[in-house]
Structure formats: C-alpha cells, structure tokens
Structure 1
Amino acid sequence: MNRTTIIAFIVASVLVLYLTILNLQYPLIGINVVEKNGETFVKEIYEFGWAKNHNIQVHDRVLKVDGKPPLSHFTVREYGAIEQAKTVTIQRGNQIQVFTISYEPNLISQFMYYLILPISFFIFVASLSVFLLRLRTHDKPSTVLIYFLLLAGLCYISASLSAKYETIGRQIFIGTFLFLPVIFLHFLYDYFEKEKKVWFTKKIVFLLYGVNLIEFVGLKLHWISEKKFLLGALLLNVATILALLGKGLVYLKKDEQQHTVRGLLLAIGLSAAPFVLFYSLPVLIIGKWVLPAELTVTSLFVLPSVFLYLIGMDRLFRLQFSINHFVYYAFLSLLPSFLVTLLYAKFVNKAGRLAELVLLFLLIYVINILALYLKGYFDRTLRAKLYVQKNFYQESIYRIGETLKKQKNMREVIQFLEKEVREV
C-alpha cells in the first residue's frame, strides 16, 4: 500500500480524536457581547448555543466570566464573544445570577450538529478512503481523492471548534476550508489527465493553490477580515470548479466520461448549494443567513455518497473486486436518512427527544436500504430492455449480450443487430 497515504490517514484520525476531545471540554455558549462605557452587554444569542436554553437575553449585563472581569477572558477581548468559559455572571435589572456552563441533556441540537454529525461524516469518508486504498493502492488520482476526503472530514469536525474560537481547531478549519476546493480540482485534473481526456491546464490548479495560500497568510497576518472573506473565497473556488465541470460536459459530449463529469458536477453542486444559497450569499449580501451554517453544511454527506455511487457504477475508477450489496446500500442510505431526520427535528418536532430521533433515523435508514435493493432488482431486470443514449457503446454491448440470449434463430439475431445499429 501507499505508505504516505497510510501515514496521512493515521495523522487525520489522530487529529480527529484530539479535536473531538477538545470539543467535549466546552459546549458552544453562543453569546456575542458589546462594550458600552466600560461595561459589557449581551449583543446577540446564537440559536444553537448553551445561552439560548438558559434565558440569557440581549441587553443583559455581563459582570464576570470565570469569576473575572469580562475583558480578561481572551474570547471576549479578541472576538467579542463568550466561549470556552466555565461560569458567567449575568445582571438583569437588580438581579444577579451566576451560571455554570456545561453540556446538558437539553442541548440535543448541539450534540447532533457539533459532535454526532461531524464524527459520522469522518467515519464515512475514512471508510471510503480505506476502500480506495484497497482499490487503487498506487494510483495518483485516488491518492489525491483520499487526501480530499480526509481533509473534508477534518474541516467538518474543526468547524465546531472554530465556532468556539479554539485556537488549534480554528487554524485547521481555516486551512482546510480554503484548500478543499483546490484539492478537488487537483483530483479532477489528475483523473482526466490519466484518462487522456483533460480539458483544462494544470496552471489553473497551481494558480488557485497560490491564491488560496496568499489568502491563508493574509488571514493569519490580519490583513483582511475573516468571516466574509472566507465565504467570498469559497464562492470564487466553487464557481471556478462548476465552470470547469460545465466546460467538461461540452468537451466530453460524445464520450462515456460525460457520466463521470455529471456525477462530479452533482457532487459539488448538491454539497455546496445549501451552504452557498442559504448561508454564504445572504451573509455577504444582507449580513444575515436564511438557514444556519450547522444545518446547511450537512449537505457535505452528498460528496462521499456520490463518489461511492460513481465507483459502484464503474464511472470512477475500475473495480477490481465486487462490493457487498448490503455494505454498499448501507453507505448510500446514510445521507437521505440523516437529512430527513434533521429536517424533522428542525421543522416538525423541535422538542423531539434524542431516543425518538434515533428511532426515526433507524426506520428511514431501513426503508432506504430496502428501496435500493428494489432499485437494483429492477435495474437488472429491465436494463436489457431499456433504450440507451447514442454513442454509449458499452451499455449497448451489454444490452446486445442480454438480448441475444433470447433470440431463437439467425434471422431474429440479424434483425435485432440491425435495429441496435440504427438506434445506437
């Protein structure tokens, strides 16, 4: 096996474990503050934060954080937010109350979005990475794809630490957030260059690497503000990738690899669209999101799901062994099951208990697996009878082989072949 790739896999796994341990130390508090005449007041309460569940309100005065003046706490001083604290003292009118901050059973949404989903996503991409190692141990495109998947897992799990202003998690998040789209473009170039069907030069890949490196250094040196700049950089990177994939559709119009380009376009489009349309663009244009980042970023599960589907359909790499149907369907069913459960918890039953959500997820998960088994059965039964697109000769050959088995004499064979040539 590729030793460098295995080392990268181990390093990513150790980092995820470390970040998870850090994440368990403090819940997201979700209090933004403002200074007025030397006093600190609550400016904003975040929807998924601890403060939302403890009746802390905008305009409350913050007297102390961890028993000291608010400005002595580094997240208040540097970011105007209260995070990574154990206690907070709040004054409302003549009442003063000391709150002890810790993870509690009523923080179900925070457990889901900040721990369960990121860890589940990393397990998903790590499993797919192991599968790719077994499939293409010394293949350059698959190696770059593995790096991309592992970095996507790190990006997702470090995002929750970035929201808490944890230093290490924040640096990992910024780096992976900026370079993930470029690494995907690098994979795109390597894959189609190996197939000798690449339609753009590697200079574009190097150019984006350089641009994002300058952006990363600029953020570290505080040349530019952080949040809106990161979102703007994401829009630029995603727009570049979508434009190149669109050009690829035209370039490979009569080639089998068109299916692969469509799949990759679907992967990037569906995984980025909710975050871009309902969070990034609204924040950049009107300064307020339509849907919170925690909800929109769950579309990341589309990426490994589409990659697995393309591999299973022989549209991305060539399988050297068969995949167990149950394992394949179980992986593909994760995404829709998660999404439906999250939408139910968010919009239908906001006060749903964790046990209820788990049972709902399992029910949807089983139904999805059964539906995929039925789809596989109908595909095998009807594939030889369905029309195929012109110029896609591999599918035509499969259909010819299946149909010729049923012909009774040479005349029927000739008639069928003439019909196939006319149609395909």
Structure 2
Amino acid sequence: MKRFQKSYVIFSIMVFLKMALILYFGLLILQYPLIGIDVEHKNGKWVVGQVYDKGWASKNQIEKGDIIQAINGIDPGEHKTVARFNYVEKAKSITIVDQQANTNTYAISYKDVDIQYFMYLFLPLLLCLATFFLGLYFYCANKEESSAMILICFLFSLGLCYLSAPVSARADLVGRMTVTVTFPGSLVLLIHFLKSYFSKHHLEFVKDRMINILYIAYFLVLTSHFFFNGEPRAFTRMVELGFFILLVCLLLFLLARLYYKYKHSEGKTIIQILLTAFVIAFSPFIILYAIPHIFWGKGFVSAELASMFLLVIPLAFVYLQRAKKLFDIEFLLGRLQYYALLSFALTTFAIIILITVFDMKILSGSAFLFFFLFFIVAILFLYIKEYIDYRLRHHLFCQKNHVEANLHNFFQKAKHETKVNGFIASLLREIKEVLRVKEVHYINIQENKDLNRWIVKNQQEFSFSEEIEQVNWRNCHPGSLIEVQTGFCVVIGEHYHVKEIIFCGLKKYKTTLNIQEKIWLENIAYFSSVLLENFKLIEGLFEEIEHYHKTRQNENDSYPSWLSRLLFSLSEKERMNLSIDLHDTILQDQLQLLRDIEAIKTKMTDPYLKESMYHVKETILDNIHLIRETCNELRPPFLSELGLIQSIQNLIERVKLRSNFLLHADLDPTIQRMVPEDELTVYRVIQELLNNAMKHSKASEVSISLKKINRGFMLSYIDNGIGIRMSELNDSFKTMGIYGIKERVRSMGGKIKIESAQNQGLKVQILYRQGDNEIDQSVNCG
C-alpha cells in the first residue's frame, strides 16, 4: 500500500510538472516566432553575427553585419536573451541599421513564417501530448510495476525534449534547462526500462553495472553546462550530440545482441519490432542533424524536422500494448531490402535530374534532404502499392482467363484423382482452357550422355522434338519455365536422368504469355510435381500389394510386416478420430442433458416424478461412464504423458473392476520409453488379451508379466480358461483377437509363441528385441 501511495505521489508530481511545462512552452511558442539572430558586441554596438536559415530574420533580408539599434524600443544590451546568450529572441519589434545606413523598424510576427506553427508548435505538441496520454494509460494499466514508472518517465521526458527544443532555440532559460536534462536523459531511461522489462521475462538485456555507468556519464554531461557558458557552448553541444549518438548506438547494439541470442524464442518478434521502431525513430536525427552538426557545425535539416520520426516510438509502444496478434515483421523487413534497392535507384535518378536541370549542389542540405525524403516516400509507396494490389486485384487486373481462381479450382478437382494418367490428362485440359493455347503435350525426355544431349522419348506423339532437344535440361527443376520458338515448356517432374515436361504452344494470333500467365503456369507446374510424385508412390504401393496377392503361396500367408504396420497406424488414427468425435459430441450432449435434468429436478414437487427423474439421471450417468470407457479404449489415455507401465497399470485396474477372475500383474518399472508406435502396440496387445479373457476364456485366474530384457522386453500371459484349438489359430474369422495380436507383434518386429489346448487354458509369450527385423520367422504357434 505504501509503495502504491509513493508511486501515486511521484506520478502526480510528474503529471503536474509536465502539464505546466506544456502550457508554458506552448504559450511562449505562440507568442514569439523564432527570430534566429546571433549578435556580437563590437565598439559599443550590437552587430548581427549570424542569421539562421529557418528564422524570421532570414525571411526579412536581415544580413550579417547589420547593427541592432533597439529591441522592443530599448537598448539591445538590456534585452534578456541578448544579455544572457547573445541571441535576439522573444521580441515584438526590432530596429536595425543596415549596411547602407538605412534604419528600419520591424514588427515581428508569424505573418511571414507560417511554417513555424507546424514545425515548432504542432508537431512537438502532438508528440508531447501523445506521450503524455500514453503515460497516463500505462500508469492506469500497470501502476504497481516499477518498469511501468520508468517507461512513463521516458515517455514524459521524450515529449518534453521535443517540445522544449524550439523553446530553447528562442533562448528561454527554462526551455534550455529542460532540453539539456531530457535530451540525453530520455535515452538512459529507455535503456533502463528495457533492462527492467526484459529482466521480468528472464532475458538479460544489460547488466546493472552498465545502467549505473550510464547514469554517471549522464550526470557528467549535465555538469559540463555549469562550466561552459557563452562561446564554448558549441563544445557542450558537441558533447551532448556525441553522447546521444553513443547512447543510440548502444541501444541498437543491445537489442540486436538480444535478438540473435533469443531469435528462436517466442519473444523475438517483439524485439524485432522494437529494434525496427528505434532505427526508424533515431536514424533521421542522427544522419541528417547530429553527425553533420558535429563535423560541419550545421545539420542538413533542422533538429525539429529530423525529430519528426520520434512519433514512431509511442506508436510502437501502443501497438505492442494493444495488439493481440503481432504483424509479421520478418516479412516486412524482407520486403524492405527489395523495396530499398528499387527506391535507391529511382531516388538517385531523380536527384541527378534535379542537379542537372536546377543546378542543385549535390552536397547541399536541400539535396540531401530531398534524397532522404524521396527515398522514404518511395519505399512507403511500394508497401502501399502492394497492399492496394492485394485488395483491388480483382478489379485492377484482367480476369479474362481467371487464372488465380482456376489454380484453386484445379487443385480442388485434382484431390479426387488417384491415377497418374488421369491427373496428367486433367492438367493438360486445365492448361489448354486457361491459357487458350493451340496445343498442349505431355513429354518425357531423357539425357543421353554419349551424345551429350536430351532425347524426346515419345517423338511419335510430338512434332516439335528438335527444338526441345536443343535445350540443356540438366539444371531445370519442377516449376522451371523455358521459352522455345514455338511455345513454352514447363517441368513437372524429374527422376534420375529423365524429365517430365508440359509443352504449350503459342496462344491465338501467336501471342506470347503475359507475366501473370507465366507465374500461374510456374505455380501449377510446381504444385503438380508434388501431386504427381505422390500419385506415383500410391500407384507403386497398389502394384506391390497386387503383386503380393498374386504370388501368395496359400491362403494362410500373412501380410508383409510393413503393410501390417501401415494398416494398424491407419486403424489407430481412425480410433483416435472416433474417440474425439464421441467425446466432443455425444458425451457433451449427455452432460448437458444431465445438467438440464438437475435443473428440472430442483423445480419438481411431486415425489413420484422426482423418483422417476432420479432413475433417468442414473441411466444417463451410466451412459456417460460407458462413453468415457469407450473413449479410453479407443484412445489410450495419457500413454504419452504417463508412460507405458503406468498406462498398463491403469488398464489393469479398470479390468479388475469389470472382470470376475483374479488378475495378477507383474510389471517391470525399469522399462524405459520406447518408440510411440511400439508402446501403443504393447498396450493394444495387453488390452486385447484381457478383453479375450473377459469375453471368452471363462478363466478364474489370469496372470500378466512384462519384464525388461537386453534391448527389449518379454511379455507373458497365462490363464486357466477353456483355451482354444491350435488348428483355429490361423483362422482370422474365428479368432479375430488372437489373429490381430499376432499381426501387431509381427508389425513391430517381435516374436510370439502361443500354447493352448481344449480346457487347458492359454499361454502367450511375446519377445521383442530392438533391431531384430527377422519378422517373417517370428511366429511360432506351438
């Protein structure tokens, strides 16, 4: 509670201070335009030393060397900004004697410098208010977190820094003190916040010692202002800008290092968004103002203009706070490389035209500013164009052939094909209908290394084989589009030194394919190659099964082990789907019906109806229990979570509750995890043995033993039931359970031994060793 009160007091003070400064700075900017005159005291006179480009003085032909006679009707030396900083600012009128000895008195107003309203008031005020309300929002949402208070300090500091900069340029003491404190301090607070934020998520952004060093360096920069006044202020300005550049570089380096360290974690997208936002926000100020100011004493653009991109920072924080789904930053950055290359070429061409036509100097600030702004606008235009193309593609492009719709429709129809020839015939028809070409052919070509060329294998069906054979197809893969004299060839398959291609003749009037049609043809060829390969695998599978049936020695032969494994895998998948369907539909309906009966029962007063409703409720409870048991049998519960031994133990406990025989179980707890398919096989075998014992054996005592052996296990089952005739073991219709057990054991590569006789019980022994693949010799029915 005390901590909450303390943070509330601190936050209230910050809010009051920021609102007071916003009001003060806003009124001062509204009242006084930026004049932009630097004066020197020479021979008892105040002489204009420098006139700044963006101020009121540059718009009124005031030049270096003019004499300031009066400011607001009084001696210039008595004006506060002149006496304190040698700047002529915060004045309503000024009297000047020019170099031709003409005396002029000017009334200073925004009439000739309307752009200052936008540059020095609207944009800074917009950012300042945005950071202010964002700080209020973060305080209301996360008032108890220390990192939130650091973030709020950073946002308030950033907004005040931007708004106080034009006030500082007007030689206001409060403005200069504010910008001096907030300019480097905002970045130190940002690094401190990120350290606290990432630490909360167990990510090391920067060590505590580094934060302490940054604060010490920050206070050293502040103290430099107490030792340098007047002319040496240029040095302190260089120190401020240099320290700011170092902080930005450190911030970007730390974020980049954090990204590469945790690029495989879920938080990498947030790091990427922050890194991109900070690069966009700080790069223009550093490149266009800070670095040129350090080396040449003047930025390419004004600090206010270069700082416009700081608006990106509060927008990024708002997005991260509010967004439930993050946009794909990697996709945007990947596009940025391509768009930047196009924009750079276009911007370079544009700047060359300007230099040639308008005789603009290439190293001038206006040329550099134009290059930068044109470059940024071009990149944004390409992003916007891509979005508009996607939204309006049905209206912008010719839909005569509906190539995109046909691509989707074709694969919807192709999923019903099962044979290679049928699929290829459908593909040829689709290409001919969509592209409106005269002819389409399916061709096989084979490499002849002796002749060092490719030969068309089905020349009798195709009359353009010569120009096809002249192409070197070695490096052409599925989806590759090759243009020949009489049409187009696209690869749809390859196998060793054989290529499968589709030849398309020219369209009507012998016109070539347009870009959209080429893209469509490449896409349909590539995806068709995948389907074609699968169709061939399926056909090969059917042919192998058919060949196996034809070569069977007798009716008692079992399926190959790989086929058994496949069939069991498909069966388990269907069991799982059925279990999910039962659980999500019938079971939920029964539970809802049970709740409805409970609700109706509470409203009943008739004892007979209550008794009847009770019996209905019990019946529904029995049905729910039965459905759950069925779901458990269809899909072994928690087999992957609990492991094989615990799952079998749970199965045995359920069997004990339902059976009328004594069940002894000896399960070796040292058996470790096996392949999931093998674990499921063992579970199903034991489940089937116990089901047979309950349904058919009429046994009074059953024993199950599962022991670990070298590289495997041994499973033993013994009961004292009625047994079975050994002659019936291979009859899958009479002993479906035993037959299924044998096939399951064979599919996993195990050996099974079955001993039984009429009224002498049943004994089953299963041996499995990892790596033992002699499956076909593994069945030994005693």
Same fold (TM over 0.5): yes
* Matches for 1:259-408 after TM superposition, within 5 Å: 259-314=269-324
Residue matched to 2:182:
176
Alignment CA distance shift 1:259-1:245 (3 Å): same
Which letter does structure 2 place at the counterpart of 1:73? H
Alignment CA distance shift 1:116-1:305 (3 Å): same
Q: Matched residues in 1 for 2:73 and 2:187: separation?
A: 43
Q: CA deviation at 1:13?
A: 1.9
Residue matched to 2:46:
40
Residues 163-217 of structure 1: per-residue CA shift (max 9 Å, x gap): 0110111111110112111000010110011111124211111111111112102
Residue matched to 1:142:
148
Residue matched to 2:130:
124
Which letter does structure 1 place at the counterpart of 2:36? G
* Matches for 1:403-418 after TM superposition, within 5 Å: none
Q: CA deviation at 1:75?
A: 2.5
CA contact (8 A) 2:48 2:67 kept: yes
Which letter does structure 2 place at the counterpart of 1:253? K
Pair 1:94-2:94 in alignment: no
Greater shift, 187-196 or 142-151, is seen at 142-151
Greater shift, 237-246 or 127-136, is seen at 127-136
Q: Counterpart of 2:160 in 1: which secondary structure? A: helix
CA contact (8 A) 1:283 1:289 kept: yes
Which letter does structure 2 place at the counterpart of 1:95? N
Q: CA deviation at 1:288?
A: 2.2
Q: Matched residues in 2 for 1:94 and 1:73: separation?
A: 23
Q: Which has the higher contact order (CA 8 A, sep 6+)?
A: 1
Which letter does structure 2 place at the counterpart of 1:167? L
Residue matched to 2:74:
68
Residue matched to 1:343:
none
Alignment CA distance shift 1:315-1:145 (3 Å): farther
CA contact (8 A) 1:48 1:109 kept: no
Pair 1:248-2:252 in alignment: no
Q: Which structure has the larger Rg over C-alpha atoms?
A: 2
Residues 60-96 of structure 1: per-residue CA shift (max 9 Å, x gap): 2222223333333332344332112222111121310
- Larger helix proportion, structure 1 or 2? 1
Q: Matched residues in 2 for 1:148 and 1:288: separation?
A: 28
Q: Matched residues in 2 for 1:23 and 1:291: separation?
A: 20
Quick one: which of 144, 152, 157 aligns to 1:151? Answer: 157
Q: Matched residues in 1 for 2:143 and 2:187: separation?
A: 23
CA contact (8 A) 1:30 1:82 kept: yes
Q: Counterpart of 1:24 in 2: which secondary structure? A: helix
Which letter does structure 2 place at the counterpart of 1:269? V
Residue matched to 2:219:
213
Q: Counterpart of 2:58 in 1: which secondary structure? A: helix
Q: Counterpart of 2:110 in 1: which secondary structure? A: coil
Residues 11-63 of structure 1: per-residue CA shift (max 9 Å, x gap): 31222112222333322111122344443332322222122232322332222
Pair 1:108-2:114 in alignment: yes
CA contact (8 A) 2:289 2:301 kept: yes
Q: CA deviation at 1:8?
A: 2.1
Which letter does structure 2 place at the counterpart of 1:66? N
Q: Matched residues in 2 for 1:69 and 1:107: separation?
A: 26
Residues 238-272 of structure 1: per-residue CA shift (max 9 Å, x gap): 12212211211122121122222222212221111
Greater shift, 301-310 or 56-65, is seen at 56-65
Q: Counterpart of 2:68 in 1: which secondary structure? A: strand
Which letter does structure 2 place at the counterpart of 1:65? I
Pair 1:23-2:29 in alignment: yes
Q: CA deviation at 1:315?
A: 8.3
CA contact (8 A) 1:260 1:315 kept: no
Residues 322-348 of structure 1: per-residue CA shift (max 9 Å, x gap): xxxxxxxxxxxxxxxxxxxxxxxx99x
Q: CA deviation at 1:228?
A: 1.6
Q: CA deviation at 1:314?
A: 5.0
Q: Matched residues in 1 for 2:19 and 2:73: separation?
A: 37
Residue matched to 2:20:
14
Quick one: which of 190, 198, 203 aligns to 2:196? Answer: 190
Q: Counterpart of 1:68 in 2: which secondary structure? A: coil
Q: Matched residues in 1 for 2:45 and 2:23: separation?
A: 39
Residue matched to 2:90:
84
Q: Matched residues in 2 for 1:17 and 1:198: separation?
A: 40
TM-score (norm 1): 0.71
Residue matched to 1:229:
239
Greater shift, 195-204 or 307-316, is seen at 307-316
Greater shift, 32-41 or 129-138, is seen at 32-41
Q: Counterpart of 1:289 in 2: which secondary structure? A: coil
Q: CA deviation at 1:234?
A: 0.7
Quick one: which of 166, 170, 185 aligns to 1:164? Answer: 170
Alignment CA distance shift 1:10-1:34 (3 Å): closer
Residues 251-296 of structure 1: per-residue CA shift (max 9 Å, x gap): 2121122222222212221111111001110111122211121210
Residues 287-322 of structure 1: per-residue CA shift (max 9 Å, x gap): 221112121011111111111222233589xxxxxx
Structure 1, unmatched stretches of 5+, are 317-345, 348-363, 376-409, 415-424
Which letter does structure 2 place at the counterpart of 1:298? M
Q: CA deviation at 1:10?
A: 3.3
Residue matched to 2:430:
none
TM-score (norm 2): 0.39
Q: Counterpart of 1:105 in 2: which secondary structure? A: helix
Residue matched to 2:765:
none
Q: Matched residues in 1 for 2:268 and 2:83: separation?
A: 53
Task: Kindly tell me the number of residue pairs found equivalent between the two proteins.
Answer: 328
- Larger strand proportion, structure 1 or 2? 2
Q: Counterpart of 1:283 in 2: which secondary structure? A: helix
Q: Counterpart of 1:253 in 2: which secondary structure? A: coil
Q: Matched residues in 1 for 2:95 and 2:298: separation?
A: 29
Q: Matched residues in 2 for 1:130 and 1:113: separation?
A: 26
Pair 1:238-2:248 in alignment: yes
Which letter does structure 2 place at the counterpart of 1:106? D
Q: Counterpart of 2:54 in 1: which secondary structure? A: coil
Residue matched to 2:59:
53
Structure 2, unmatched stretches of 5+, are 327-364, 367-379, 392-572, 578-782
Q: Matched residues in 2 for 1:183 and 1:199: separation?
A: 14
CA contact (8 A) 2:56 2:112 kept: no
Q: Counterpart of 2:111 in 1: which secondary structure? A: coil
Q: Counterpart of 2:31 in 1: which secondary structure? A: coil
Q: Matched residues in 1 for 2:15 and 2:95: separation?
A: 44
Alignment CA distance shift 1:17-1:25 (3 Å): same
Residues 359-386 of structure 1: per-residue CA shift (max 9 Å, x gap): xxxxx9xxx9xx89x99xxxxxxxxxxx
Q: Matched residues in 2 for 1:184 and 1:314: separation?
A: 24
